[in-house]
């Protein structure tokens, strides 16, 4: 089997790049002949088509990347297999994607979104995102590198550290977590809430809004926002430094960082919806807060992400769910249970680690990929 992978290559620390990179690594370790190239690099992709002659071209992205992931390899007679995440509403390329023999998606929820938006689903298989369980491991709280992380954040050794990580914190449910912490503040052990976000103009504005909420709730002295560019080398230690990973995301197709937190032996608080239903076992590896609100839209505007230079409005026959909100009272209850019970944190952390190793280790994902390709496309 010869595989050409298209993604954000060379890999940045972002989710889609990590998704592609770990599949490359897993396939290499299985002995599969695999190369990677940037999904937007037309000339280099053509170069690989000509001399490498791949059996399949696997592209990591979402439906709006169809020109780069599907149409480009088809132009040169190479079989594309897109590995897609969901991005709101699928506004185009239905006929092109429906005719493919195989589409990979990252979770059962992502599959349901593509079916909701017009695909039959008959050619869709679920392939989760891999996790490097050799790097993301449980670490002793006295590990020098872990201690250094907490010190740099201003978190004392005896404080409970709750963490949320994302491009921004709000989309990961940070506002709901802050409201929950305000409810239990006077009853809970001494705590700090750390939000690690990626530096970008959108994030700076959102951070200001979030910190104003913390001020309004009276918990601003316990909330820390850190906005830095970080590498994948730092992430395992950042996660190892926390006691609880809380990310009841408003929109989550898989939940890669939740999985990495589980691999580090941390209990996770999520939301009982979307991709987290695949990755977190409620009451065993973490807690899933009930959905309190579903945000629905009756119409949307499709811009250049759909391949159209002119924006157009789409009106839905039925309102579409575009966002979720987790129950603040559930989050508060679960935070209190975990903050006051070190044995429970340890028990859930062990269960989470075991599940990630069994289900989401990048080598397990690579083997599953080979099985799907062999079965669906009869390529070995």
Q: Look up the CATH number of the domain holding residue 175.
A: 3.40.50.2000
Based on the domain organization, do 79 and 224 belong to the same domain?
no
Q: Walk along the chain (380 residues) and give the pLDDT tens digit of each residue.
A: 999 999 999 998 888 999 999 999 999 999 999 999 999 999 999 999 999 999 999 999 999 999 999 999 999 999 999 999 997 788 889 999 999 999 999 999 999 999 999 999 999 999 999 999 999 999 999 999 999 999 999 999 999 999 999 989 999 999 999 999 999 999 999 999 999 998 878 778 888 999 999 999 999 999 999 988 888 899 999 999 999 999 999 999 999 999 999 999 999 999 999 999 999 999 999 999 999 999 888 877 776 655 555 677 788 878 888 899 999 999 999 999 999 999 999 999 999 999 999 999 999 999 999 999 999 999 98
What are 233-270's pLDDT values in tens digits?
999 999 999 999 999 999 999 999 999 999 999 999 99
Q: Are residues 119 and 60 in the same domain?
A: yes
In a domain, 336, yes or no: yes
Q: Is 21 within the bounds of a domain?
A: yes
Q: How much is the pLDDT for 308?
A: 57
Tell me the C-alpha distance between 338 and 1, whole Å.
Answer: 47
Strand residues in the chain grouped as ranges (E) = 2-7, 33-38, 56-61, 79-84, 103-105, 124-126, 160-166, 191-197, 223-227, 244-246, 268-271, 286-289, 291-302, 312-326
In this prediction, residue 304 carries a pLDDT of: 64
Residues 167, 273 within the same domain:
yes
For residues 51 and 183, membership in a common domain is answered with no
Cis before 10 (ω within 30): yes
- Chain position carrying tokens 């913390």: 214
Same domain, 87 and 181: no
Place of tokens 């599969």: 32
Output the pLDDT for position 89.
80
Cβ atoms of 289 and 248 closer than 8 Å: yes
Task: Indicate if 125 and 162 belong to the same structural domain.
Answer: no
38 and 167 housed in the same domain = no
Secondary structure letter of residue 165 according to DSSP = E
Cβ-in-10-Å burial (0-12, 13-18, 19+) of 79 comes to: middle
Token pair in block for residue 281: 């076992």
Whether residue 136 is contained in a domain is answered as no
Sign of CA dihedral 267, 269, 273, 276: negative
Q: Is residue 354 part of a domain?
A: yes
> Is residue 73 within 8 Å of 45, Cβ to Cβ?
yes
Q: Is 129 strand, coil or helix?
A: coil
pLDDT at 108: 97
> Is residue 139 a part of any domain in this protein?
no
Give dist(CA 300, CA 319) in Å, integer: 10
Residue 231's pLDDT is: 87
Decide if 135 is inside a domain: no
Please give the pLDDT value at position 374: 97
C-alpha torsion sign, points 38, 43, 46, 48:
negative
Domain co-membership, 365 together with 350:
no
d(CA 320, CA 308): 22
Question: What is the C-alpha to C-alpha distance for residues 295 and 274, in angstroms, rounded to an integer?
Answer: 14
The predicted pLDDT at position 277 comes to 97
> Are 151 and 276 part of one and the same domain?
yes
Q: What is the pLDDT of residue 201?
A: 80
| Distance separating alpha carbons of residues 351 and 346, to the nearest angstrom | 9
How far is it, in rounded angstroms, from Cα 237 to Cα 251?
25
Residue 193's pLDDT is: 98
User: Is position 137 within any domain?
Assistant: no
DSSP 68: I
Compute the distance between CA of residue 363 and CA of residue 369 in angstroms, rounded to an integer: 10
pLDDT of residue 204: 80
Structural domains of the chain, count: 2
CA distance 48 to 61: 19
pTM of the model: 0.94
Whether residue 104 sits in one domain with residue 178: no
Is 115 part of any domain? yes
DSSP state for residue 128 in the 8-state scheme: P
* Domain co-membership, 366 together with 332: no
For residue 364, how far is the Cα from the chain centroid?
18
Report CA torsion sign: 216, 220, 222, 225.
positive
Q: Domain range for residue 45?
A: 2-130+361-377
Strand partners, 193: 162, 223
Strand order in the sheet with 103-105: 33-38, 2-7, 56-61, 79-84, 103-105, 124-126
Q: Which pLDDT belongs to residue 291?
A: 98
Cα three-residue angle 34-37-38, rounded to 5 degrees: 150
- Token digits of residue 95: 């006929």
Are residues 302 and 279 both part of a single domain?
Answer: yes
**What separation in angstroms does the CA of 232 have from each of 131, 171, 353?**
12, 21, 19
* 130: helix, strand or coil: coil
- Residue 70: strand, helix, or coil: helix
272-305 pLDDT, tens digit each? 999 999 999 999 999 999 999 998 888 777 766 5
Distance of alpha carbon 22 from alpha carbon 106, whole angstroms: 14
């Amino acid at each position: 089997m010869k595989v050409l992978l298209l993604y954000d290559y060379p890999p940045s620390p972002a989710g889609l790049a990590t998704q592609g990179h770990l599949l490359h690594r897993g396939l290499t370790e299985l002995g599969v002949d695999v190369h990677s190239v940037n999904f937007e690099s037309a000339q280099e992709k053509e170069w690989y088509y000509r001399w490498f002659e791949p059996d399949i071209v696997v592209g990591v992205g979402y439906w709006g990347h169809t020109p780069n992931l599907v149409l480009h390899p088809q132009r040169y007679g190479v079989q594309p297999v897109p590995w897609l995440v969901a991005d709101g509403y699928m506004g185009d390329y239905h006929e092109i994607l429906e005719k493919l023999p195989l589409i990979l998606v990252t979770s059962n929820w992502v599959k349901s979104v593509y079916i909701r938006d017009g695909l039959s689903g008959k050619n869709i298989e679920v392939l989760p995102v891999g996790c490097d369980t050799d790097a993301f491991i449980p670490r002793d709280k006295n590990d020098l590198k872990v201690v250094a992380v907490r010190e740099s954040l201003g978190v004392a050794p005896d404080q409970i550290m709750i963490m949320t990580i994302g491009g921004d914190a709000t989309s990961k449910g940070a506002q709901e977590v802050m409201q929950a912490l305000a409810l239990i503040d006077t009853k809970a052990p001494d705590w700090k809430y750390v939000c690690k976000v990626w530096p970008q103009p959108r994030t700076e504005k959102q951070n200001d809004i979030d910190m104003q909420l913390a001020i309004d709730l009276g918990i601003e002295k316990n909330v820390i926002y850190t906005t830095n560019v970080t590498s994948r080398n730092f992430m395992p230690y950042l996660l190892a430094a926390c006691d609880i990973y809380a990310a009841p995301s408003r929109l989550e197709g898989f939940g890669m960082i939740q999985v990495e937190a589980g691999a580090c032996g941390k209990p996770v608080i999520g939301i009982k919806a979307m991709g987290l239903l695949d990755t977190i076992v409620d009451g065993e590896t973490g807690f899933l807060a009930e959905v309190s609100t579903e945000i629905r839209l009756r119409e949307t505007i499709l811009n250049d992400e759909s391949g159209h230079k002119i924006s157009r409005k789409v009106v839905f026959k039925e309102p579409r769910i575009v966002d979720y909100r987790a129950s603040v009272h559930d989050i508060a209850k679960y935070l209190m249970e975990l903050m006051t019970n070190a044995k429970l944190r340890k028990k859930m952390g062990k269960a989470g680690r075991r599940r990630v190793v069994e289900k989401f280790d990048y080598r397990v994902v690579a083997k599953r990929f080979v099985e799907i390709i062999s079965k669906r496309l009869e390529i070995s």
